[in-house]
Chain A
Amino acid sequence: MLKNCLLAISVVLIIVSIYFPARHARHYSYILKDNISSQLKLHEPRNKLPNLKTCTYQNIILNSEDVDINSINERKSFQQPLAGGEFKPKQCTASINAAIIVPYRNRTRQLNIFLNYMHHFLQKQNIHYRIFIVDQNDTLPFNRAKMLNYGAKLAISLKYDCLILHDVDLLPLNTGNIYGCTKCPRHMSSSLDTFRYNLPYLTLFGGAVSILSQQFQEINGMSNKFYGWGAEDDNFYRRVIGNGLQPCRLPPEVSRYTMLFHNKEKANENRFKLLETLPENPETDGLNSLPHPHVIKLEHLYTHLVVS
């Protein structure tokens, strides 16, 4: 009798541990395609030309198309943006102005593909955007969050309302994935090809994220203390939640991304310990605690921010 009970309990335990949901990729709740445009945070255009209509985004979202993944390396056609990689649509006045902030170090080939692809992709969306490449020019391990803070600070000072924190190796594969901010901070890359187009865990908040400048300032940006690969996005998620913001996502078919091939970054051994010890709502570590020396260069296709 006791034996049978023990056997039954161990079988149940094994089954539970094998099919435990957290061991698997997850389905997630998302904003339905029809509701996306009502959830977008639009801004009154600053210097509106009287004879131009305001751009609308409903049709772009509803008539979204998949991009052929084999074409991402091809040379794309796009209009030459203003110096510093800034673009405003000509046929209407954009009510989205987004700063695309890309932390970067020493991946020239990927940067070329990224710029070529993104200008082509973004110009179809009728948004006012500018690409900021934040270059870490030192010998320390890569600090993605710190670079994003630098970029965000510059973008906010240039009056961008919407920040898009974007990795250089990610390319969006659906034209309906609008590069503007929703009212909620948005995890954009929830259907990544290297993850079998699944979401590994529900609190994932890295890759490509859009957040309103105002919200980013409220949570004091990201932590500057994460050197090396990993956990800075989890810390960011905790800051967002800790400040009462609820992150959201778009449907999987809209959120498809591809990741350009690269070797694995060296992970920060200390990352989980750091994640557990850092407070969720830090007053002193983030956007307001950046040392100042950096150089801004205006390139043809992007604004180059060199942080040393």
Chain B
Amino acid sequence: MNGMNDEGISLCCCEYYDRNNERNHILACCCNCVDVDEAFESLITSRSITQQHKSGIMSTVQDRLRIPWRGGAKQVAFDAALPIFIIPVMLLLASISVWWTIFSFTTVAMFLAFIFNFLIRTIPHTKFFFVWTITSITALYIVFEFIVIPFLEILLEENIALSIFIFGFIMCWYLMKVRTKQLNNCGGDAEFGKIASRIQNCSVCQMRIPDKDHHCVWLDCCVGKHNQCLFILSLFFAEIALLYSSNLTLTSVCHPFILYKTVLLPDDCSDVYQLFELSLSFVSAVYSLFLALAIFILLLHQLLLVSLGMTTKEWSNLPLTSKFCLGLTTKRPQDQGLFKNWSSIICWAKNSRTLLNEA
């Protein structure tokens, strides 16, 4: 708005070219929206709002939701920005009292269950879940380092150990992505044929994946035979890091006891809601425990599937009865026996190196 007549000058960090290719400013986000005006007119004159106006409003909102960036404000996807607000608000609300904790966690759990189905159907490429993971890790780590550590009850080596687990998780995750990329850069279908029996094109990440297991929306990465070992390892690290950090936090803010002269565990958390720092640490530890529970189930499921030689997709197509029998009763065409199933995953990189180098 304030730079309409000098188009040639480069953008300041709060300016951008909008969808009509006009220069606009972040501060003017609430000005000049024709569709909203029309919609209000319809409301006052009690006519229904047309579909055209509705979608016009939506796309204007999408267009104007931007963050200041060097060389012009950057557009952020609405669905991807959502977790950045939800997770801190959930943790802050939960730290008010025990009833707020229950309310806030159940609301978010129900919201997640709803939006999972909704987003998978409507926006399959959404970064919502990926941002959720990143935001969770960041929020939990910030609470741990800047609220729990200053209680002066955690030793330096305990902090370092936790950092190593987190680093292990992030490293495995990073390698998973790198391996998928490498694989897709390294040649045509012919080379792929030598590596894997089945190659699938993932509709979400647009990559060719050998023996695809599933696309993990939380890590925004495809899991196939080539990186399943890393996937299981990253789940393992995440599980350990979450359990360890929640144990450190809970034993700091609650009354601890020593089990069998070795492990320190919390036993009385009745006075955590008296102080904001204590309650925030406590609810973030509880959130970590929920995440740890979810990851534990996923980890067990993965271990079972690898042992059986099945993929997640095959498993989900099984009838309920054979799921109860842990899939042992069904036909498994890819099954090579327990030992071979595992060694084919663990030694995948070694077995395929020569083929990869050839390509």
- A-side residues, CB < 8 A to B, are 18-19, 21, 23-27, 66, 69, 193-198, 200-201, 261, 263-264
Contact = CB atoms under 8 A, between A and B. Distances in A.
Contacts of A196: 153-154, 251-252, 256, 264
Contact of B159 (A19, A197, A263, A264): A19
A196 B250 CA distance: 10
A214 B271 CA distance: 41
Given A69-B257, A196-B256, A21 B264 contact: no
Interface residues of B, number: 25
B145 A198 contact: no
B8 interface: no
B179 to A, nearest CB: 26
Nearest to B275: A264
A25 B264 contact: no
A252 to B, nearest CB: 11
A261 B274 CA distance: 14
Given A23-B149, A200-B152, A261-B271, A194 B255 contact: yes
B156 A261 contact: no
Interface in B130-167: 145, 149-156, 158-160, 163
A261 B159 CA distance: 27
- Top 5 nearest A-B pairs by Cβ distance? A200-B152, A24-B156, A196-B153, A195-B153, A25-B155
Contact of A198 (B155, B160, B255, B257): B155
B358 to A, nearest CB: 36
Contact of A201 (B152, B257, B261): B152
B268 interface: yes
Given A261-B255, A261-B271, A18 B145 contact: yes
Contacts of A200: 151-153
Interface string B255-275: 111100100100010010011
Contacts of B149: 23-24
Contacts of B274: 263-264
A23 B264 CA distance: 21
Contact of A25 (B152, B257, B258): B152
Contacts of A198: 153-155
A167 to B, nearest CB: 17
Contacts of A66: 261
Contact of A197 (B150, B160, B163, B264): B264
A4 B151 CA distance: 34
A197 B255 CA distance: 11
